[in-house]
Structure 1
Amino acid sequence: MTKILVPLLALFCLGLHAQRPTASQGRNITLTGTVMDKDTGTPLEFATVVVQNANDPSKITGGMTDLDGKFSVETPAGVYNIRVEYISYESYSIESKELRQSQDLGNIRISVSATQLEAVEVVGEKTTVEVRLDKKIYNIGKDITTSGGTVTDALNNVPSVAVDVEGNISLRGNDNVQILINGRPSAIAGFGSTDALQQLPADAIEKVEVITSPSARYDAEGTAGILNIILKREKTLGFNGSVNSFIGYPTTSGITSNINLRSDKFNIFNTTGIRYRYSPGNGFFDNTYSSGSFDRITEDREIDRKDRSFNTNIGMEYFINERSSITGSFFWRYSKDEDVTLNESERYVEDNIQSLTLRQQNETEDDNSYQVSFNYLNKFDDQGHVLTADVQYSIDKENQEAVIEELITFPSDDLLALENVMQADDQTEWLIQADYVRPMEDAQFEAGFRSNMEEQITDYRLDSLDQATGEFVINEALTNIFTYNENVHAVYTQYGDKFGKFSFLAGLRLEYTQLKGNVESEFDLEDLEEILGDDVDFNFDKEYLGLFPTINLIYELQENQNITLGYNRRINRPRGWFINPFPSRSSRTNVFQGNPDLDPAFSDAFDLGYLKRWNELTLTSSVYYQRETGSFQRVQEATGITTPDGIEIIRTIPINLSTNQRYGAEAGILYNPTRWLRINSSFNFFRFVTEGEFNDVDYGAENNSWFGRFSSKVTLPGKVDWQTNMFYRGPSNNAQTEFKGIFSMNMALSKDIMDGNGTILLNVQDLFNSRKRRSFTETEFFTSDSEFQWRVRSFRLSFVYRFNQPKKRNGRGGGENFEDEGDFGS
């Protein structure tokens, strides 16, 4: 830590020295103030302040407002014309003001330009990017390709983010991402899974914060960084909202409503959605074996999924006075899934087919999630002096039942196996959090704490048919109850300041982590020790205490050009299913087994970014490096056990693999040359180097990969919008598996009707039906060549109706900090 702070302190001192006026410059004075929206009182960040010498107009100085709308301009004493400008707002000016000493102009309130409202509405439809000290904020515009879609669909259009064919989310190629809703862990995003995001409407998103260098305010979980999804909340008085209904093929339908009722004393909000989706998928697997009764087995897989879901969130914010409020909300999500998977297998010895089998798995899953949230907000003044407090309680109950039947269809008609699988997951979570922010002239001090207390109970049972007796028998080797507790308590503080064009935010977070596991089973644990090792504690209680420093720097080269530099230390805590020592399986021949000996992984990451804005073009870019120790790696091993029909059973197990280094660079552009054309494109290249071994096998690997996306939106004659989104992920590999590249294209058309209150949209997802995962795995004991498609090409027709909603001003949702507001709303 000292090695980091010493050069930074030296840098700060140099910055101060560089700004100190010399005697030849004369006596300088400082002009300060705060720029605000006249109607809402919201601070306006990045407003331009121009200070021009009245006697010599060629002498101009100035600056930009910070995140709290404040500015500070240093200039020699004299007579000046002062002008404040902000996009889509009326200019503010003071003529021939004599400045002989430092002066605070106080709150400068400016209004939206009435003559620019139509143009501003167009801006509100665009996807724009804002750069903060610790994050990039992508304001999700009117993305017609995701209308009627889900949050996962929308995230797949955000730069730096990729969503694979199974809905797993990664950031810069790293899938250890922390997902937050309005700045907090939430049942809305699911408990350690992204499945819940595939059931929430994309239309609920206001903006997405991509936090690759998180400040100390955030939980240190997630070595890749954080995705903070900010959901909509209308600020306009009265009753307003929108309704989005859709139908599609393969069969899908749904309706989502966002409703708000706001007065001077309260704001009632509700978002409710119901959907049905049929999602067929398929796969093909060609496996070869070095042992067992068969040399080669091919599997042709068909998957039919039927998903029904309902979610609602209702809440009310009560304004105690002009500066403080309390918000309470209740969220409920219910889903019922029915999946049918058919596997037709051909089994070979050399080149001769020995048998054909048919495996059918019928699986149902019921999921109930509840969350109660309370938030207290107190704005001590208009300068950003704020206290917030949150209490949140969440429950998730998930029940899965599956019937697995495997038959021989050639050369005879015999039953191979009949199994019943039952799994119940009960998870509860408490969140208690408080944050305090205190501005001090150009500086800002923050402090807070957070406690997360989570318990997950997994009750897993497998019954197998004994064909000799015709009765089902409990498989004690797999049946168990596993209780997992993860308790994280943290305190943090951070301090930010600005010296001319240079700003910094430095913080330190202290986190205490407790991981507890308890196994209940009739099975002899000594048999598991033979596999995992006799030094593994199946009933464990581990404690970790760690310091997580962060620092973020920004230097404004010009008004529309800056450089950022960030460092942060992060942690990756293993989830419950990664630790549960009892195997679970997707088939009789493939077993996943958790590892209770897993420890958290830690990473150190550096990020250097550059932003440049032109009138019609915005360029963002960065290079980054991350070194993770004890990183998780899933490896596949032969168990030495075969099924009764002679197939080698393969085990997958997560391990702490020594180190993982990532290097990367990314760039993105937002280009709007005319009102009828908008282009959004990004490119990300990364390289990772893994070192480590397990059970005398070297799993070291080096890999280069990349992904890129391109989006264009064109306004056709008749005011019809046409949008095209393309995504390509390049080939990649780890120690055992090579993944081929994936390409997909989405396309959509939209037309506003009913005087702009209604919109009709038609979109197609995966136009060329090419979004398939192709991979090849090779080990000493088997190879697997596979192709898997989670969801086939789909079409969707949507109709959106808006009532009593005003035109948007700047696409910023009023510019308020949603992190300090209530929970899920419209």
Structure 2
Amino acid sequence: MKIRKLLQKLLLSALGILCTCTTNFAKTSFKTYIISGFVSDSTTQKKLDFITVNLLSEKGIPVKADYTKSDGSFSFSALQPLKYSVVLVGVGYKKKTVLVDLTDSTKLNSDLGILFLTPQTVGLKEVTVTAMKQIVKQEVDRISYDLQADPESKVYSVLDMMRKVPLLSLDADNNILMKGNSDFKILINGKPSSMVERNYKEILRTMPASSIERIEVITTPPAKYDAEGLAGIINIITNKKLDNGYNGSVNVSERFPSGGPGFGGSFSAKIGKLGMSALGGASIYKSPQIINSTSRNTFGDENTFLQQNGTAESKNKSAYLGYEISYELDSLNLLSGQFNINGSKLNGENGQRSLLTDTETVLQKYSLENLTRTRGSGMDAALNYQKGFKADKNRLLTLSYRYFAYTNNQNSDIVITESINYDQPDYKQINDQKFSEQTFQADYVHPLKQLNIEAGFKAILRNNESDFSNLFENNETGFYEVQPGLSNKFRNDQNVFGAYNTYQYNFKKWSFKAGGRVEQTVINANFISNESKLSTHYFNIIPSLSINRKLAGSSDLNLGYTQRIQRPGIYQLNPFVDKSNPNFEKTGNPNLKPALVNDFQLGYNWSKKLSLNVGLGFTFFKNLIFPVAVYDSTTNITRTSYGNTGQARLPQGNLSINYPITKKWNFSLNTRFAYGMVRGIVNGILIKNEGLMYNLSASSGYRFEKSWRINANLNANGRGVNLQGSTNSFVSYSFSINKDFYQDKLSFSASVSNPFQKYRRNVNDSFGPDFTQSNIRRDYFRAFNFSVNYKFGRLKDSIKKNKRGIRNDDVQSGS
């Protein structure tokens, strides 16, 4: 017993000695050394967050790195007793280095206090470097235009900037033309959006170009894209360099006399695994009173002459909001979604005096007043799930669902006065259109070293509806009565089922992208009021091929071929008869079939100090959907509808140049030329038309000291050619000035367009087997624009987003 107690005492004594020795050893050998401090602006004394703090050893070897917190603080712990350098780096500030000596064992905590950073006085040079980035870039199947590298993005809207993008132009009505064609698809961040599917002009002229990163013109869309869009795809990429924290931009603008106030902005944020971004804006667009006239000569048994003179004005209010969100479940699983809404209200007023005569007498005369109210709205929502694989994180499986719908309601009140030989009563027109679409999609990406394989399936369930009616005033009762022959309910169901397979192979200086897409389309049309139906279906195999060859001297060569489809949309299918002008009726054609196009493209890109892009192409259209105008001598009415009556050949070329003449002076040129040859059957007679078409946009800018910049632009549009007519050419020019403040976060811009010409004369000439016609419109040409843009926020780590998602590019953009 005594022995056991003795052993216990010895063991406790040993443990006590061991603990004492361990404690003393820790106190002497494992001391905790800390370096801490705060960072502030030397001018404003404001604490600075997200300033990079680098800790270097005495020999300049990196030891640790961190960034300052929201209160400007930073701290490095568990350091060895050595000599260090603390290096502070922040955008817009001079680099600062502080030496710290931790070899003094009595000083464990080295508090550096407040370290002041001096604002960078040569920030202008940073702006110069950014502006000299390559603006135009050629990829294997597309051309991209970097808006952030173009200073005029701070001045104009996205719609205005389209003039400067290769292969794009704007016609006299500011409609976008891609390779001279109005049939294309617009995507935002590679996905369809209701913001631009219902009426893109309303949104793009509201959207500030400063909120956009780049615009991609996909000239040879690969098989993963739906086959619709004869000319190709325009992909608008918003600013998506998102980090932990937030950033955004706000733009306020005013344009007059044609135009109005506008507001737009973007916001992005990331908190851990959750990321989100929003894009929104609103505008009021006023079109002051303009003068228009129409003259028509007809030939046959009785020659007639129609002269109409009128005025028109309108006011349009529009707004849009787009929201995207993503959440990383883990490193291999990602959920994302999007939600977009938009709306518009347009009120228009048109006046017209009409006189129809033959060689000797007055056949018809009247005056007309038309009040039009149009209301439209759209929305879409999508959900995506992306799964990666541990063996290869670039191998992806994506499942997506999207719902999209819009409405467009138009009401017109027409009043007839001063009539001679014209007994049409006052009447109303109602045209309510609805569109809805559901999309289910699965995509799979499988990389194999230099080969990338993509495959996918898609089902689009689409519904077009129209409820239209004409109501004539009863002169006896004063009430408006529905006209059965001019009223109906129309429904068109269009279901598209597709599958694709694409292969991309990169080998040294060669890149190949080839694929095929199959699509089965089923259409059922129903005229509900008169119980008539129409059913049809068709099957298409769509090939695509793109080849890129890198050449010496920072240049490359591209060759592309694809086949595309033009499916008619509700605007062309709707059998509603627009009688707002009694002598000219417009209607859709529910019997339309899809049109096909074969497109060949050859491009050369060279980029050093001079950036040069040259392209040649040939496009052949078959069963092209053209508006067809036919004159009826018994009613003296020209009716325009749509038909699969056209064939066209279009050889074309394009040239894009960007050249920094000096460090402060740059020049850019974007031009396209084509020779259009179209033919088709109109009222049983073969019609041919052809002509040279061109677009040119030249821009030059000079940067002065203190962040001032001026720009001059020249735009020339040649005549347009279609099956039954042509439009006149015109030249426009503009000057802009902008100034950056507050480390380039705040900018003020102003511009004037065509200062020496108040109006522009737009002429649209058309013809048929038995008539010629000329429409002349005098629009406001001179315009002034003011804009203020502000960028805010700081970010760190990029937001992870789905690399695949729904892209419905198979229906013609609305007009």
TM-score for both structures, normalised by structure 2 = 0.78
Shift of the 117–193 alpha-carbon distance from structure 1 to 2, 3 Å rule, reads closer
Shift of the 542–343 alpha-carbon distance from structure 1 to 2, 3 Å rule, reads same
User: 1:572-598 deviations in whole A, cap 9, x for unaligned?
Assistant: 111223233453334111112322332
Counterpart residue number, 1:505: 513
User: 1:419-472 deviations in whole A, cap 9, x for unaligned?
Assistant: 111121121111222322222111211112222222121111111123355332
Aligned counterpart for 1:545 among listed residues 534, 539, 549: 539
| SS in structure 2 at match of 1:165 | coil
Q: C-alpha separation between the residues in 1 aligned to 2:142 and 2:135?
A: 14
| SS in structure 2 at match of 1:477 | helix
Counterpart residue number, 1:628: 621
Counterpart residue number, 2:777: 788
Counterpart residue number, 1:365: 374
Aligned 1:296-335 pairs, distance under 5 A? 296-335=305-344
Aligned 1:646-725 pairs, distance under 5 A? 648-657=636-645, 659-725=647-713
| SS in structure 2 at match of 1:320 | strand
Q: Deviation at 1:150?
A: 4.1
Counterpart residue number, 2:582: 588
Shift of the 703–544 alpha-carbon distance from structure 1 to 2, 3 Å rule, reads same
| SS in structure 1 at match of 2:743 | helix
Q: C-alpha separation between the residues in 1 aligned to 2:555 and 2:801?
A: 23
Q: C-alpha separation between the residues in 1 aligned to 2:210 and 2:435?
A: 28
The one-letter code of the counterpart of 2:511 is S
User: 1:237-267 deviations in whole A, cap 9, x for unaligned?
Assistant: 2132111112232261122232222122212
Counterpart residue number, 1:426: 434
Q: Deviation at 1:632?
A: 1.6
* 1:607 pairs with 2:567: no
The one-letter code of the counterpart of 1:389 is L
Q: Deviation at 1:552?
A: 0.7
Aligned counterpart for 2:612 among listed residues 611, 619, 643: 619
Counterpart residue number, 1:484: 492
Tell me the number of residue pairs that the alignment of Structure 1 and Structure 2 aligns: 684
| SS in structure 1 at match of 2:652 | strand
* 1:132 pairs with 2:139: yes
The one-letter code of the counterpart of 1:556 is K
| SS in structure 1 at match of 2:496 | strand
Q: Deviation at 1:478?
A: 1.7
| SS in structure 1 at match of 2:172 | coil
| SS in structure 2 at match of 1:548 | strand
Query: Contact conserved, 2:313 with 2:348, CA < 8 A, in 1?
Result: yes
The one-letter code of the counterpart of 2:221 is P
* 1:579 pairs with 2:573: yes
Shift of the 481–746 alpha-carbon distance from structure 1 to 2, 3 Å rule, reads farther
Q: Deviation at 1:693?
A: 2.1
Q: C-alpha separation between the residues in 1 aligned to 2:799 and 2:169?
A: 27
Counterpart residue number, 1:394: 404
Counterpart residue number, 1:83: none
User: 1:266-292 deviations in whole A, cap 9, x for unaligned?
Assistant: 123222312222123442222223479
Counterpart residue number, 1:238: 245
| SS in structure 1 at match of 2:486 | coil
Counterpart residue number, 2:524: 516
User: 1:389-409 deviations in whole A, cap 9, x for unaligned?
Assistant: 332111212221111112228
Of the structure 1 ranges 229-238 and 619-628, higher mean CA displacement relative to structure 2 is found in 229-238
Q: C-alpha separation between the residues in 1 aligned to 2:760 and 2:130?
A: 31
Query: Contact conserved, 2:618 with 2:651, CA < 8 A, in 1?
Result: yes
Query: Contact conserved, 1:127 with 1:141, CA < 8 A, in 2?
Result: no
Q: C-alpha separation between the residues in 2 aligned to 1:599 and 1:509?
A: 19
Counterpart residue number, 1:747: 735
Q: Deviation at 1:317?
A: 1.7
Counterpart residue number, 1:78: none
The one-letter code of the counterpart of 1:777 is S
Shift of the 115–131 alpha-carbon distance from structure 1 to 2, 3 Å rule, reads farther
| SS in structure 2 at match of 1:216 | coil
Shift of the 752–658 alpha-carbon distance from structure 1 to 2, 3 Å rule, reads closer
Shift of the 482–287 alpha-carbon distance from structure 1 to 2, 3 Å rule, reads same
Q: C-alpha separation between the residues in 2 aligned to 1:162 and 1:751?
A: 27
Q: Deviation at 1:726?
A: 2.1
Q: C-alpha separation between the residues in 2 aligned to 1:353 and 1:651?
A: 22
Query: Contact conserved, 2:708 with 2:738, CA < 8 A, in 1?
Result: yes
Query: Contact conserved, 2:564 with 2:598, CA < 8 A, in 1?
Result: yes
Q: C-alpha separation between the residues in 1 aligned to 2:634 and 2:207?
A: 43
Aligned counterpart for 1:453 among listed residues 461, 467, 472: 461
User: 1:5-31 deviations in whole A, cap 9, x for unaligned?
Assistant: xxxxxxxxxxxxxxxxxxxxxxxxxxx
Of the structure 1 ranges 620-629 and 175-184, higher mean CA displacement relative to structure 2 is found in 175-184
Q: Deviation at 1:338?
A: 0.9
Counterpart residue number, 2:174: 167
Aligned counterpart for 2:283 among listed residues 272, 275, 293: 275
Identity of matched residues, %: 24
Q: C-alpha separation between the residues in 1 aligned to 2:328 and 2:761?
A: 50
User: 1:531-562 deviations in whole A, cap 9, x for unaligned?
Assistant: xxxxxxx6222111111111111111225111
Q: Deviation at 1:146?
A: 5.8
Counterpart residue number, 1:75: none
Of the structure 1 ranges 455-464 and 720-729, higher mean CA displacement relative to structure 2 is found in 720-729
Counterpart residue number, 2:214: 207
Q: Deviation at 1:194?
A: 5.1
User: 1:758-802 deviations in whole A, cap 9, x for unaligned?
Assistant: 111112345445655312223343322222256643222111122
Counterpart residue number, 2:413: 403
Shift of the 354–630 alpha-carbon distance from structure 1 to 2, 3 Å rule, reads closer
Larger gyration radius, structure 1 or structure 2: 2
Q: Deviation at 1:221?
A: 0.5
Query: Contact conserved, 1:497 with 1:504, CA < 8 A, in 2?
Result: yes
Q: C-alpha separation between the residues in 1 aligned to 2:383 and 2:490?
A: 31
* 1:761 pairs with 2:749: yes
Q: C-alpha separation between the residues in 2 aligned to 1:335 and 1:463?
A: 25
Q: C-alpha separation between the residues in 1 aligned to 2:802 and 2:385?
A: 13
Shift of the 170–150 alpha-carbon distance from structure 1 to 2, 3 Å rule, reads same
State the Cα RMSD in Å: 3.2
Aligned counterpart for 2:767 among listed residues 768, 771, 778: 778
The one-letter code of the counterpart of 2:616 is V
Q: Deviation at 1:191?
A: 3.8
Counterpart residue number, 1:264: 272
User: 1:156-186 deviations in whole A, cap 9, x for unaligned?
Assistant: 3312112223333221112221222222232
Q: Deviation at 1:652?
A: 1.0
The one-letter code of the counterpart of 2:564 is R
The one-letter code of the counterpart of 1:595 is N
Q: Deviation at 1:383?
A: 6.7
Of the structure 1 ranges 676-685 and 789-798, higher mean CA displacement relative to structure 2 is found in 789-798
Q: Deviation at 1:144?
A: 5.7
Q: Deviation at 1:134?
A: 1.1
Q: Deviation at 1:130?
A: 2.0
User: 1:469-497 deviations in whole A, cap 9, x for unaligned?
Assistant: 53322222221111112222211111121
Shift of the 270–581 alpha-carbon distance from structure 1 to 2, 3 Å rule, reads closer
Counterpart residue number, 1:284: 293
The one-letter code of the counterpart of 2:729 is G
Q: C-alpha separation between the residues in 2 aligned to 1:735 and 1:499?
A: 45
The one-letter code of the counterpart of 1:650 is T
| SS in structure 2 at match of 1:700 | strand
User: 1:589-626 deviations in whole A, cap 9, x for unaligned?
Assistant: 11123223321111211111111112x21111111112
Of the structure 1 ranges 453-462 and 813-822, higher mean CA displacement relative to structure 2 is found in 813-822
| SS in structure 2 at match of 1:153 | helix
Counterpart residue number, 1:466: 474
Q: Deviation at 1:323?
A: 4.5
